[in-house]
Structure 1
Amino acid sequence: MNEIQSGPASNARHADILIIGGGLSGAMLAAQLLRLPGRRSVLVIEPRTELGRGEAYSAVELGHTLNGNAARMSVDPDNADDLTQWLTDHIGAGGWPESAEQPVPISELFPPRGLFGVYVQQRLAEAQAVGALNGSTVEHVQAEVIDLQTDDDSVRLTLSDGQRLQGAFAVLATGMFPAARTPQKESSGLNAAALDPWDVAAMRQLDPQSTVLIIGSGLTMVDAVVSLEQAGHRGPIEVFSRHGLLPHVRRQPPAWVDFLAEDHSIRTPRQLVRELRRHCREAIVQGIDWQAPLDTVRAHIGRLWNQATDRQRRQFVRHVRPWWESHHHRSPPLSAALVERLHREGRLRIQAASFKGLEPGSQDGVSIRIRRRGEADTCVVRGAALINSSGIEYDWRRVARPLPQQLLARGLIRPGPLALGIAAAVDGAVLDAEGQIARRLFAMGPPLRGMWWESTAVTDVALQAKALAARLVVAAAEPARLRPAAQRS
């Protein structure tokens, strides 16, 4: 870990608001702040060279598409058609010519992730132009935050390059961390055998007929399979996940009655699952896609999760989560068709098995130890390469990055419900180790998984960005006023 540099606050750069993380969450919050009346300075601290992309939207391959269609992916919470309108203009100007191969309305297209990143950046640039009229600014500081301190008057950050920043407020918009309980690319024993799910260039170095092992069977696995196909890989692909469940394909179902808006007696995750199953069965009887009732739930899941008890949440995670993930977080049609074809041809095998660790001594390739579901003994599986597609680490106690470790050590944060993300009030204000609501430190996006359950999708983050921007502007206008007590999770 980098050594923390201390020094007088007068040596620090100053800004009104410090946004830690410049992927989708940080860029959307910055855009919302720029569009609000008033003058303010914002620093976005992000190690990547560009704001608004993060890992997800830095993809360069056209086959790596959004998991939702354009109608579902607007960054403007007040205009659900914003991405559709942007794509209409972009395609009309000659952009994304490959879209002509998909004979569907633009609202039903699944754009490439890299193109979505361009859209986010353009909306941020437009917000910067609006903000400039009021004297507001956003600046990208290309570094990693390695420490954070706060008091009644300010927040102070220490960066990986030695810089120090000071602001009235700071926001943890850190995005997602990779799962800690599975091997990362830096793991001893992996070296060149570890492949990034999106690194097509590295996959081209493989023997096309070699066996590739993948841990995890969710949407990242789907991306990895797309990458392998585009790299020319034609060998076996062995996928291992605890339940062996694949994401369902995303379709375009008709509208369904918003039953949660009409029935306020549904207040727990268990009641939700029971009622949702009933509506899905009813839809099937009527010849309607079961995805129609499921899609009405999104607007209410945060409220239901937030008001549930820890026991109810724990039951949901233990018994429902794998099926919720595979049904709710669905795969784009073209990617799903590829996975289905490879599975049918026998090149892709999905196995219900738990990853138990790396096996040492592999000179060429990689060996892993697994335990298949229903079996007591473990076994070793060997491949030419390993792709970790096991998802996201929400427990910040397991995240091996300087900032989460420092925040925990200083008692500035505490784990969220079920150790999912970090604890916060309903307005995003972080709770410290004693459960006190921070006056100057906020969070948004994936760190609030434990607060809202669904806190990673574009629509979730867009709504949070709008609300948090308004909250920060109000707080900045009343610096001497103690924040009122807020409802806690």
Structure 2
Amino acid sequence: MTLSDAPSGQATHAIRKADVLIVGGGLSGTLLAMQLLRLPGARHIVVVEPRAELGRGEAYSATELGHTLNGNAARMSVEPDDADDLTRWLQAHIAGGGWPESAVQPVPVAELFPPRGLFGLYAQQRLAQALAVGECNGSSLTHVRDEVVDLHTQAHGVRVTLKHGEPLQAGAAVLATGMFPAARTAQRQSSGLNAAALDPWNIDAMRALPVDARVLIIGSGLTMVDALESLNQAGHRGPIEVFSRHGLLPRVRRQPPVWEDFLSLAVHIRSPLQLLRELRRQCALAQARGIDWQAPLDTVRVHIPRLWSQASDAQRRQFVRHVRPWWESHHHRSPPQGDALLQRLIEEGRLTINAASLQGVDSSGLRIRLRYRGQSEAVWVQGDALINSTGIEYDWRRVDKALPRQLLQRGLILPGNLGLGIASDAGGAVLNAQAEPASRLFAMGPPLRGMWWESTAVTDVALQAKALAQRLVML
């Protein structure tokens, strides 16, 4: 068995039928394929992904060393039953002469924050190992370099339409579409921001700017940290102004000591508000003992799916509207390298953070209309360049791509809770417009944000991939 790469229009007659068809070959689709290949039984898996490589997607296609994971190696294993897998892989990779830059970080390998491109290589190597395991069972995997633009469910499977190639048939299909970065996603309702803004990861475009250009950035989360690194790599030395609704910055990720899993004992906690009250109490208790407040916070992640799924719609809305910005800035923390750059720019007086909401963008893209917090009137702000760092677009109703648009129009999918991704049952079966679970269409990873809230981190996706693979082989 080999991994074959079939560009659009080529070799389609040999692969028109598959047992499982995976829409998307980023990390989510790759981890699912990896789990399927390891299970007993012969099956043919097709992954439709326009990129030349599987396992990278949007997140791990970065080539700059400065664009690192926002979690250290000990937190980023793709093996749900082996938290040290990435650490061991990194140790061997570094010992073999890879990533020599890691030597400047005097910390154990488990505490390193690898470049995202390097993590993509790790995922690809684990897929290659799974391919070797699958060979013993007669399984195969084909990568079709194309884009799925439509999908139809049938009595005993699905039929997908490709942008360039012939239609494919499969016993089941999985929407593993990954993230839709706001900066790279055409939106049906748009302020014109994307048309005017630079891509946060396009260093070549930033090199074309005057070295002292005044750069305006919309959004102050982790994508903004990436944009700062891109500007730094491009040699930019001018002023940078960041605008976001609340003006909150990601906290830096540290390595706190182990804290008791207080939520496993606090069975009375069932709502987001109860969680926040107890979490604040635990953080205060840790600080009183001279322990980093991040220690209690790091115990919460494993309980988030349960707490989110049992919360009422009203409680979820309250969390998203009032708590989400603070949760994101504390929970989705910046890697130390990114935070060090951010703090240096602030100390140099080159970076300013503003609490203001975007009201519009003029046609030139060099002026944006903002309403600062506490002000009733909006004002125009002039810059030399604009960057969209607003993060991820989870609402499929706003994503102007063929597949989401077609699936929504024909009622094959239902928007997720609060417009977060798409709806599914607890096992990943997609719900249609009548809230009925599909028998042959599934989803995993970021599309299930509304179902589990945290559905984007490597550990979350790895667990979903293992569970879904076991369900798929039972069809």
TM-score interval for Structure 1 and Structure 2 normalised by the shorter chain: over 0.9
Deviation (angstroms), 1:56: 1.0
Partner of 2:269: 266
Runs (4+) of structure 1 exceeding 4 A deviation are: 9-12, 180-184, 187-193
Deviation (angstroms), 1:267: 0.9
Equivalent AA in structure 1 for residue 203 of structure 2: V
Deviation (angstroms), 1:447: 0.5
In 1, Cα distance between equivalents of 2:270 and 2:109? 37
Partner of 1:287: 290
Structure 1 pair 22–366 and aligned structure 2 pair: CA distance change class (3 A): same
Partner of 2:73: 70
Judge conservation of contact 2:446–2:455 (CA < 8 Å) in 1.
yes
1:115-134 Cα shifts (integer Å, max 9, x gaps) = 00000000011111111111
Moved more, 62-71 or 11-20: 11-20
Structure 1 pair 201–51 and aligned structure 2 pair: CA distance change class (3 A): same
Deviation (angstroms), 1:393: 1.2
Judge conservation of contact 1:12–1:163 (CA < 8 Å) in 2.
no
| Correspondence 1:126 to 2:129 | yes
Judge conservation of contact 2:358–2:371 (CA < 8 Å) in 1.
yes
Deviation (angstroms), 1:189: 7.0
In 1, Cα distance between equivalents of 2:168 and 2:463? 28
| Correspondence 1:465 to 2:465 | yes
Partner of 2:110: 107
Structure 1 pair 142–10 and aligned structure 2 pair: CA distance change class (3 A): closer
Matches within 5 A, 1:194-233: 194-233=197-236
Partner of 1:487: none
1:140-187 Cα shifts (integer Å, max 9, x gaps) = 111111000002211000011042011010000001113389988xx8
Judge conservation of contact 2:186–2:400 (CA < 8 Å) in 1.
no
In 2, Cα distance between equivalents of 1:357 and 1:56? 28
In 1, Cα distance between equivalents of 2:184 and 2:32? 31
Equivalent AA in structure 2 for residue 368 of structure 1: I
Judge conservation of contact 2:397–2:405 (CA < 8 Å) in 1.
yes
Deviation (angstroms), 1:203: 1.0
Partner of 2:41: 38
Structure 1 pair 123–182 and aligned structure 2 pair: CA distance change class (3 A): closer
In 1, Cα distance between equivalents of 2:183 and 2:207? 27
Q: Percent of pairs identical after alignment?
A: 71
Deviation (angstroms), 1:383: 1.6
SS in 2 for 1:317: helix
In 1, Cα distance between equivalents of 2:441 and 2:417? 19
Partner of 1:486: none
Structure 1 pair 232–359 and aligned structure 2 pair: CA distance change class (3 A): same
Judge conservation of contact 1:422–1:447 (CA < 8 Å) in 2.
yes
Moved more, 436-445 or 337-346: 337-346
Deviation (angstroms), 1:193: 5.5
Judge conservation of contact 2:185–2:400 (CA < 8 Å) in 1.
no
Equivalent AA in structure 1 for residue 406 of structure 2: Q
Structure 1 pair 243–130 and aligned structure 2 pair: CA distance change class (3 A): same
Please, which runs of 5 or more residues in structure 1 have no aligned partner?
Answer: 1-8, 476-489
1:264-301 Cα shifts (integer Å, max 9, x gaps) = 11111111111000000000000000000000000001
| Correspondence 1:298 to 2:301 | yes
Judge conservation of contact 1:183–1:388 (CA < 8 Å) in 2.
no
Partner of 1:247: 250
1:308-356 Cα shifts (integer Å, max 9, x gaps) = 1100101111111000000000000111011011012210111111111
Structure 1 pair 457–195 and aligned structure 2 pair: CA distance change class (3 A): same
Equivalent AA in structure 1 for residue 407 of structure 2: L
Partner of 2:160: 157
Partner of 1:395: 395
Matches within 5 A, 1:141-180: 141-179=144-182
Judge conservation of contact 1:430–1:438 (CA < 8 Å) in 2.
yes
In 1, Cα distance between equivalents of 2:314 and 2:191? 38
Matches within 5 A, 1:1-12: none
Equivalent AA in structure 2 for residue 261 of structure 1: S
Partner of 1:481: none
TM-score of the pair, normalised by structure 2: 0.95
SS in 2 for 1:158: strand
Deviation (angstroms), 1:194: 2.7
Equivalent AA in structure 1 for residue 361 of structure 2: L
Judge conservation of contact 1:249–1:330 (CA < 8 Å) in 2.
yes
Structure 1 pair 191–459 and aligned structure 2 pair: CA distance change class (3 A): closer
1:414-450 Cα shifts (integer Å, max 9, x gaps) = 1111111111000000110001110000000000000
Judge conservation of contact 1:180–1:398 (CA < 8 Å) in 2.
no
Partner of 1:6: none
Partner of 1:315: 318
SS in 1 for 2:387: strand
Equivalent AA in structure 2 for residue 474 of structure 1: M
In 1, Cα distance between equivalents of 2:128 and 2:25? 14
Partner of 2:358: 355
In 2, Cα distance between equivalents of 1:337 and 1:213? 20
Partner of 2:418: 418
Equivalent AA in structure 1 for residue 77 of structure 2: S
Partner of 1:97: 100
In 2, Cα distance between equivalents of 1:389 and 1:397? 20
Please, which runs of 5 or more residues in structure 2 have no aligned partner?
Answer: 1-11
Moved more, 11-20 or 441-450: 11-20
Partner of 1:371: 371
In 1, Cα distance between equivalents of 2:207 and 2:418? 41
In 2, Cα distance between equivalents of 1:432 and 1:46? 24
Judge conservation of contact 1:193–1:384 (CA < 8 Å) in 2.
no
Structure 1 pair 12–79 and aligned structure 2 pair: CA distance change class (3 A): closer
SS in 2 for 1:393: coil
Judge conservation of contact 2:183–2:194 (CA < 8 Å) in 1.
no
In 2, Cα distance between equivalents of 1:392 and 1:463? 21
SS in 2 for 1:128: helix
Judge conservation of contact 1:212–1:235 (CA < 8 Å) in 2.
yes
Judge conservation of contact 1:413–1:422 (CA < 8 Å) in 2.
yes
Judge conservation of contact 1:368–1:380 (CA < 8 Å) in 2.
yes
Alignment length (residue pairs): 463
In 2, Cα distance between equivalents of 1:252 and 1:417? 33
SS in 1 for 2:177: coil
Partner of 2:404: 404
Q: Of residues 335, 352, 373 in structure 1, which corresponds to 2:338?
A: 335
